[in-house]
Amino acid sequence: MGCFQSKTTHLASPDQDPPIADPANGEEQEEHSVPGFKEFGLADLRAATNGFSSELIVSECGEKAPNVVYRGKLRNNRLVAIKRFSKLSWPDPNQFLTEASGVGKVRHKRLVNLIGCCAEGDERLLVAEYMPNDTLSKHLFHWEKQPLPWEMRLRVAYYIAQALDHCNAENRKLYHDLNAYRVLFDEEGDPRLSSFGLMKNSRDGKSYSTNLAYTPPEFLRTGRVIPESVIYSYGTVLLDLLSGKHIPPSHALDMIRGKNLLLLMDSSLEGQYANEDAAELVELASKCLQYEARDRPDVKFLLSAVATLQKQQEVASHTLMGLTKTPVVLPTMLSPLGKACVQMDLTAVHEILLKTGYKDEEGAENELSFQEWTQQVQDMLNTKKFGDIAFRDKDFKNAIEYYSKLVSMMSVPSGTIFVRRALSYLMIGQPELALRDAMQAQVCLPEWPTSFYMQALALSKLGMETDAQDMLNDGASFEVKRQNSWRG
C-alpha cells in the first residue's frame, strides 16, 4: 500500500486545529507532529479520494470485505488512509463519533495514528496516517526482491508488543483481528500497528475477518473478544514471522510438539538466524496459542521476552529491509501527462495520448517509413488505422487486438503503439501487461519521457510506489533535457 510521500506529510494543516495537548504524552506529540484528531466533512474526504475512486483503493482485504480503505490526499497535501465502512455499519452516528475520538486520543510512535473521522448521512469514515511501505503481509508472503530479514522480523514482534503495551496503558485492551495485514511500514521502514483494529465492533462488522482456523478458541465459543484473545492473535503473527506463511495454529503446534522446528521455519531465510532466538520465539508463540485464555502470558511478558531478542537496534529499519530511504516528493517539472500519471487519471492520459498522436516518433526509424510499398505495408497501415480508431473510441479490447497484430507484423515496432497498448491494458485492469509494454516503449525510444511516465503509472497500479517514483523522476529528467535542447 504505498504512495508518494509529500514533504508536508508531518506538518499540520493551516485549517486544522492544533494537535491535542496531552501532558502525559507531550514528548511523543512533539516528536511525531501528528495533527490533532478532527471531524472531517464528507465533501473533504470525497475530494481527497477523487470521489472514492476505485483507482485509490489500497485495502488488501478483497471485494467481499464490508469496509474499504482508500489512499487520499487532503487539502494540505497530507497523504492519509481513509477507511469507508459499509452502509449498515455504525447506525448511530454519535456512537461512531464517540468511539473514533476515543481511539484518536491513543497516540504512539508504534501506532498508525487516527487523525479524524466523518459521520454524515449513511457515511462512516475514519482517517489515519498513511504508511507508504506496504503491509507485513506483503513483505512476508508476497515479497519481490528479498525476504524479510530475520532481524526485521524480531523488530516487528518487538514494536507490535510495544504498541499493544501502550494500548493497554491507555485502557484499550481489546484489539480486533490482529494479523499481518494490520501491521504497516512507515516511511522509515518501521513497523506500526493500525489503529483501525482498536475500534469496537460495529453492527455488521466481525471481530475476526480471517479464517476460523486463526480465530481465538474463546471467540468461537462465545462470540466475545477478551484481552487474552489479543495475545492469541499475537501468537499467530509470531507464526507468520517464523514461517513466512500463514499456517493455522493447530498445524504449527503439531510441528512444535513434534520438534519439527525446521519445517516451521521460513526456508527463504536460508538459515540466516540464530537457532536459540528462533527457539525462543517458537516457545513464546506456543504460550500465546494456549487453548485456555488464562494460560496465555500478558502483554508485559511478551514485551520483555521479545526485547531481549533485539540484536541490531542501531541498524535503521529501512536498511534492514533494503528500502531506499529518499524523500518521496513529486518532481517539480512534470508535463500534463506526467501529472495525469501521478494522479492515476486514466481518462486524462487517454486524452493527452490522442492529442500527441505519433509526433514524438518523428525522425525515428520506423518500418512504415522505409519499407517498399507492398501489400504487407498496406495491411500494416490498415491494422494501425483500425487500432487507432478503436483507441480513439475507447474500445480498448479491440485496440489491444489490432495493436498486438501490428506489433507482430513490424520488425521495428513503434514506441507509440506500445504506449497506447499499455494504456489499453490499464483500462481493462491488466497493469502487469501495461508495465511490459511501457518498458518496450522505452526500448524503442530510450529517452522518451512518455514511456517512463507510463511505467510509473503501471507500477503505481501494482503498488510498487518506490519504483514508480524513480520512473517519474527519470521521466522528469528527460523532460528537462528535452526542454533545454529546444532552448539551445
List pLDDT tens digits, range 392-422: 999 999 999 999 999 888 877 789 999 999 9
Residue 273, SS3 per DSSP: coil
- Say how far apart CA 9 and CA 6 lie, in whole Å: 5
Q: Kindly tell me the sign of the dihedral angle through the C-alpha atoms of 279, 280, 284, 290.
A: positive
- Say how far apart CA 389 and CA 470 lie, in whole Å: 33
Mean pLDDT of 193-198: 93
- Say how far apart CA 388 and CA 94 lie, in whole Å: 55
Asked whether the domain spanning 336-359+372-486 has the same topology as the one spanning 134-321, the reply is no
**Proportion of the chain above pLDDT 70, given as a percent:** 84
Q: What is the average pLDDT value for the chain, to the nearest integer?
A: 83
Looking at residue 409, what is its pLDDT? Answer: 85
Residues 91-130 pLDDT 10s: 889 999 999 999 999 999 999 999 999 999 889 999 999 9
Q: Terminus-to-terminus CA distance in the chain, angstroms? A: 42
Strands across the sheet containing 68-73: 38-39, 114-120, 123-129, 79-84, 68-73
Rounded to the nearest 5°, which phi and psi values hold at 119? -140, 90
| Domain 336-359+372-486 superfamily per CATH | Tetratricopeptide repeat domain (1.25.40.10)
Mean pLDDT of 159-164: 97
pTM: 0.62
Strand partners, 73: 79
CB 331 within 8 A of CB 4: no
Q: 349: which 3 cell numbers? A: 492520459
Give the Å distances, CA to CA, from 262 to 149, 259, 286, 378, 426: 17, 8, 16, 64, 43
Looking at residue 25, what is its pLDDT? Answer: 40
Q: Which of 244, 232, 227, 203 is nearest to 86 (CA)?
A: 203
pLDDT at 211 over 70: no
Looking at residue 380, what is its pLDDT? Answer: 85
pLDDT at 329 over 50: no
Q: Which residue ranges make up each domain of the chain? A: 38-129, 134-321, 336-359+372-486
List the catalytic residues.
177
pLDDT at 326 over 80: no
Residues 276-318 pLDDT 10s: 999 999 999 999 999 999 999 999 999 999 999 999 999 999 9
Residues 474-486 pLDDT 10s: 887 787 777 665 4
Q: How far is CA 447 from the centre of its chain?
A: 30
| Domain 134-321 superfamily per CATH | Transferase(Phosphotransferase) domain 1 (1.10.510.10)
Return the minimum-mean-pLDDT range out of 14-28, 38-52, 390-404.
14-28
How would you classify the pairing of strands 111-112 and 183-185?
Answer: unpaired
Q: Which of 284, 31, 19 is nearest to 160 (CA)?
A: 284
pLDDT at 21 over 70: no
- Say how far apart CA 56 and CA 72 lie, in whole Å: 7
Q: Which residue has the higher pLDDT, 266 or 482?
A: 266
Assigned architecture for domain 38-129: 2-Layer Sandwich (3.30)
